[in-house]
């Protein structure tokens, strides 16, 4: 007990210089050095993001488009650079105000104080997507933190369950036609590619059965004409309420094949974009990177989802004798079996957050739930604080790629934080940081970070 008390005293009495900027005694210099380090890294990052978005529009940009893109790059660079530098400044200020460090004030409270302020510098239309992004990473991080404490336990294919329920909710909104009114979002364009425009709502009443439905009565299986009748039946039969023109079977099969090819194309396209430098350097390992089973996973997931969704929807229309947006619920859940081929946590959390956001918008429009002002900024502030806390105090709960990103844009500061005084917190912060640094192969070639401004 005495040893624990001693450790707590060491943690509380730790100075901000010992913790976050051991290379300089000046908090102002530490803040300024962080700002100078962040500007080049964030500028490169946002330049790539916005230029890629410009290329994805698939048309020659005008002078106005280029000017707007340049302004957006500078504004986003200023936002993220300010966020990171104010985080260091807030750590020092909070420590001075409280007289020492507590578990929540080492990173979480400082990040919470400055993140929402920084977000105000970003363009309004970018705030909600940023909040969604940090919430995506933050929820995964929170889960890992709770899992490390034995509070929760992951279940096999849990991310597939999340993805399935989320997609089902989105499909209901799509079939109900709400995506045209109160839940407008670009996500539904992607859903339209997966299940086709035929399933787009609102559901229309049938105008009459103009399809040819052959009969299978009196079949003689010794005659080849019987097999032709069976083939004709399965290729042409459809219910009057079905929104597609061809028979239900070819509608589902062709739709599934189309979604499979789209998924494979998207997967390969992303891999090619991420390996552009290797391609130009002739170092691309084509067999390992492209021609493997991994390139088929997304295609299999989308193809099977589309196939099962359409087959189930058509089956329900045949059974009930009418079409209904509610049919999207059982169809979506059954179609989710295909998602077992693509158990991706990031995509699952994104779809979950997106479906909750759109359901919330629907609830607000119906007057069922209250509207929360500045909710995006609140969500961004909370989950940014979670990410900052985890990155500094519980590094093993953070995505390694995110840790390395922060390390790079901060000029190597993250790996130089001294976490040994915080042993009293009981989460072995220094050991966690050392483990992640070793795993990522981070090597400190200099005793000081970039723009140390040591005094």
Pairwise CA distance, residues 51 & 42, whole Å: 14
Extract the tokens encoding 74: 């500078």
* pLDDT tens, residue by residue, 103-147: 999 999 999 999 888 888 888 888 888 999 999 999 999 999 999
Question: What one-character-per-residue DSSP string does 109-164 give?
Answer: HHHHHHHHHHHTTS-HHHHHHHHHHHHHHHHHHHHHHHHHTTS----TTHHHHHHH
- Residue 211's pLDDT is what? 47
Give, to the nearest 10 degrees, the angle between helix 294-320 and helix 187-195.
80
The whole-number average pLDDT for the span 219-246 is: 70
CA distance 187 to 235: 32
Mean pLDDT for the stretch of residues 173-194: 90
Check residue 229 and give its pLDDT: 60
Mean pLDDT of the chain: 87
Percent with pLDDT over 70 in the chain: 91
Euclidean distance between CA atoms 447 and 105, whole angstroms: 27
Q: Is the pLDDT reported for residue 270 higher than 90? A: no
For the chain, the structural domain boundaries read 2-154+374-440, 161-342
Helix or strand run (H / E) with residue 204:
none
pLDDT at 13: 85
CB count in 10 Å sphere of residue 303: 24
161 confidence band (pLDDT: 50, 70, 90): very high
* Predicted confidence (pLDDT) at residue 442 exceeds the cutoff of 50: yes
* Contact criterion met (CB below 8 Å) for 129 and 390: no
* pLDDT for residue 420 is more than 80: yes
Give the separation between CA 56 and CA 65, rounded to whole angstroms.
13
pLDDT tens digits for 88-99? 999 999 999 999
How would residue 210 be classed by pLDDT, with cut points 50, 70 and 90? very low
Helical (H) or strand (E) element with 236: helix 224-236
Percent of the chain exceeding pLDDT 90 equals 52
Element (H, E) at 56: helix 27-56
Q: At what angle do helices 158-176 and 187-195 cross, to 10 degrees?
A: 90
CA–CA distance, 92 with 110 (Å, rounded to integer) = 9
pLDDT band at 452 (very low <50, low <70, confident <90, very high): confident
User: Any idea which of 105-119, 218-232, 266-280 has the lowest mean pLDDT?
Assistant: 218-232
Taking the model in full, what pTM does it have?
Answer: 0.85
Segment among 47-61, 166-180, 325-339 with least mean pLDDT: 47-61
CB atoms within 10 A of CB 288: 9
What pLDDT shows up at residue 35? 94
Least confident of 41-45, 86-90, 209-213, 362-366: 209-213
Q: What is the 3-state secondary structure (H, E, C) of 249-313?
A: HHHHHHHHHHHHHHHHHHHHHHHHHHCHHHHHCCCCCHHHHCCCCHHHHHHHHHHHHHHHHHHHH
The predicted pLDDT at position 62 comes to: 83
pLDDT of residue 89: 95
Pair of tokens at residue 265: 């194309």
346-358 tens-digit pLDDT? 999 999 999 999 9
């Amino acid at each position: 007990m005495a040893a624990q008390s001693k450790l707590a005293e060491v943690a509380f009495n730790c100075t901000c210089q010992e913790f976050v900027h051991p290379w300089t005694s000046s908090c102002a210099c530490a803040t300024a050095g962080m700002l100078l380090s962040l500007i080049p890294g964030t500028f490169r990052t946002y330049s790539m993001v916005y230029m890629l978005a410009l290329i994805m529009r698939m048309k020659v940009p005008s002078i106005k488009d280029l000017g707007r893109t340049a302004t957006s790059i500078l504004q986003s660079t200023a936002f993220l650079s300010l966020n990171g530098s104010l985080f260091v400044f807030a750590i020092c200020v909070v420590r001075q105000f409280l007289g020492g460090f507590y578990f929540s004030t080492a990173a979480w409270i400082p990040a919470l104080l400055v993140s929402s302020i920084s977000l105000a510098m970003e363009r309004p239309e970018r705030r909600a997507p940023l909040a969604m992004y940090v919430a995506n990473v933050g929820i995964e991080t929170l889960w890992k933190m709770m899992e490390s404490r034995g509070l929760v336990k992951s279940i096999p294919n849990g991310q597939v369950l999340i993805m399935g329920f989320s997609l089902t909710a989105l499909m209901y909104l799509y079939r109900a036609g709400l995506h045209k009114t109160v839940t407008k979002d670009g996500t539904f364009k992607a859903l339209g590619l997966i299940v086709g425009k035929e399933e787009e709502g609102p559901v229309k009443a049938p105008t009459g059965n103009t399809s040819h439905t052959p009969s299978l009565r009196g079949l003689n299986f010794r005659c080849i004409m019987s097999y032709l009748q069976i083939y004709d039946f399965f290729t042409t039969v459809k219910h009057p309420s079905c929104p597609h023109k061809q028979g239900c079977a070819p509608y589902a099969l062709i739709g599934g094949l189309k979604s499979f090819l789209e998924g494979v194309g998207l997967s390969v396209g992303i891999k090619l974009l991420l390996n552009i430098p290797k391609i130009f350097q002739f170092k691309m390992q084509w067999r390992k990177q492209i021609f493997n089973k991994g390139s088929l996973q997304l295609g299999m997931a989308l193809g099977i989802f589309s196939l099962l969704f359409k087959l189930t929807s058509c089956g329900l229309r045949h059974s009930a004798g009418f079409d209904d947006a509610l049919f999207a619920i059982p169809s979506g859940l059954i179609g989710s079996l295909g998602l077992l081929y693509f158990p991706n946590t990031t995509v699952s959390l994104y779809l979950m957050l997106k479906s909750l956001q759109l359901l919330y918008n629907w609830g607000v429009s119906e007057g069922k739930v209250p509207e929360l002002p500045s909710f995006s900024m609140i969500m961004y502030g909370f989950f940014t604080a979670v990410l900052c806390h985890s990155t500094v105090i519980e590094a093993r709960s953070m995505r390694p790629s995110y840790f390395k990103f922060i390390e790079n844009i901060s000029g190597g500061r993250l790996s130089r934080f001294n976490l040994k005084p915080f042993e009293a917190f009981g989460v072995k912060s220094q050991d966690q940081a050392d483990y992640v640094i070793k795993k990522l192969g981070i090597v400190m070639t200099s005793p000081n970070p970039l723009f140390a401004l040591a005094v």
